Structure 1
């Protein structure tokens, strides 16, 4: 990717997660400013997501992360460089 690769927007990330996973709670944060100067910062944004969804019920951590990645689709290849995920089912701490 080039220096001109666009970052994914929080609104687009939120739209895709809401559409695919129908979360009961969703918090997103753009952490890109904390990674300025990092080589990968040119390749897309750095984000954190805290999501609670019934879709995660009965799934382990890896399966939950896969669902999030799948929901974001092409943004994971172009626009998102790093994504910290906290994924829980309803009722989990």
Structure 2
């Protein structure tokens, strides 16, 4: 079962990128008690996404695209995101 923030991340990324592969992995348990742990169980995530939208884009551009699609989630509602964005075939 995923929490509401994980579900919102998945919905926003699906709408923005129509990914061929998307995994939203909740890493919060491994950060319990550390800085940024807000007690919600949804403070740290890894996003693995594959989309044609990333073709020809640099790693930094891809991360900016993902962050833009997520709006107020990074930095405000989630403490940390690790983003692994790839184009098909990479």
Match of 2:18 in 1: 22
Q: For 1:77 and 1:27, how far apart are their aligned partners in 2?
A: 20
How far is the alpha carbon of 1:28 from its aligned partner?
Answer: 1.1
Task: Give 4+ residue runs of structure 1 displaced > 3 Å after superposition.
Answer: none
Gaps of 5+ in 1: 1-6
Give per-residue Cα distances to partners, 1:58-80, cap 9 Å, x unaligned.
00000000000001001114211
Q: Residue 8 of structure 1 contacts residue 75 of structure 1 at CA under 8 Å; is this kept in 2?
A: no
Match of 2:8 in 1: 12
Gaps of 5+ in 2: none
The correspondence of residues 1-93 of structure 1 with structure 2, limited to 5 A, is 9-42=5-38, 45-92=43-90
* RMSD between superposed Cα atoms in Å: 1.7
Q: For 1:30 and 1:54, how far apart are their aligned partners in 2?
A: 24
TM-score relative to the length of structure 2? 0.88
Q: For 1:11 and 1:41, how far apart are their aligned partners in 2?
A: 19
Instruction: Looking at secondary structure, tell me which structure has more strand per residue.
Output: 1
Q: How many residues align?
A: 86
TM-score relative to the length of structure 1? 0.85
